[in-house]
Structure 1
C-alpha cells in the first residue's frame, strides 16, 4: 500500500481543486469496510488517548501540555496518510464527466 501524505499526490485526484478532492475522499471513506473503519478508529484513539492523559497531568507538571501538543501533531502525520491510502482504492479514475 502506497502512503499519500497529501491529497494532491493521489493519482485519481490530480488536477482537482481542494473542495472536489475533499468531496471525493469523503465519498470514498463512506465505502470503507468495517475492518478498515475499525482500524482508522483505533489509530485515532492511539493518538488522542495519550494526549488527553498528558493534558490531565498539567496540574502537577505544566510541561506535559507541551508534550500533549506534540502528540496531537501525530494525527496528521500518522492517521491522515493511512486514511488517504485506504480511501484511494475506492476512488474512481479522474474524469471530468463524473459529477455524481
Structure 2
C-alpha cells in the first residue's frame, strides 16, 4: 500500500501538468466504488469532526489551534487517502482524459 501526498508523485501522471493531473484525479475519483467512497467519507469524518468540536468550544484566539489541526489533517491524512483510492482508477481516467482531449 503506497500513499502519495501529492499528485506529482504518481508515476502515471508525470507527463501531465498540474491542471491536467487534477482533471485526471477528478475522473478517477468519479470511478471509485460506493463502498470505497463510504470508507473514505468515514475517514474524513473521523479526522475532521474532533477539531471542529474543539473549535465550537473555544471563545478566544485559541480557535487558531483547531484550524491548524484541520489543515494538517487534510494535507497529511485525507489527501493521501483520496489519492490512494483514486490511484486504482488512474489508468482508466487517463484514457478517458485523452479521449476527452481528442473530442
Tell whether the structures are fold-level matches, with TM greater than 0.5.
yes
Asked whether 1:34 is paired with 2:71, we answer: no
- State the aligned residue count: 97
- Alignment partners' CA distance in 2, 1:39 and 1:49: 15
1:15-94 matches, cutoff 5 A: 15-59=15-59, 62-63=61-62, 65-72=63-70, 73-92=72-91
TM superposition shift of 1:62: 4.4
TM superposition shift of 1:26: 0.3
The structure where helix makes up a greater share of residues is 2
Q: TM-score by structure 1 length?
A: 0.84
- Alignment partners' CA distance in 2, 1:3 and 1:35: 19
SS of match in other structure, 1:5: coil
- Alignment partners' CA distance in 2, 1:46 and 1:67: 18
Per-residue deviation, residues 44-95 of structure 1 (Å, max 9, x unmatched): 1112211211111113x643x1331232121111010111111111011768
- Alignment partners' CA distance in 1, 2:99 and 2:32: 20
Q: TM-score by structure 2 length?
A: 0.82
Runs of 5+ consecutive residues of structure 1 not aligned to the other structure: none
Q: CA RMSD in A?
A: 2.0
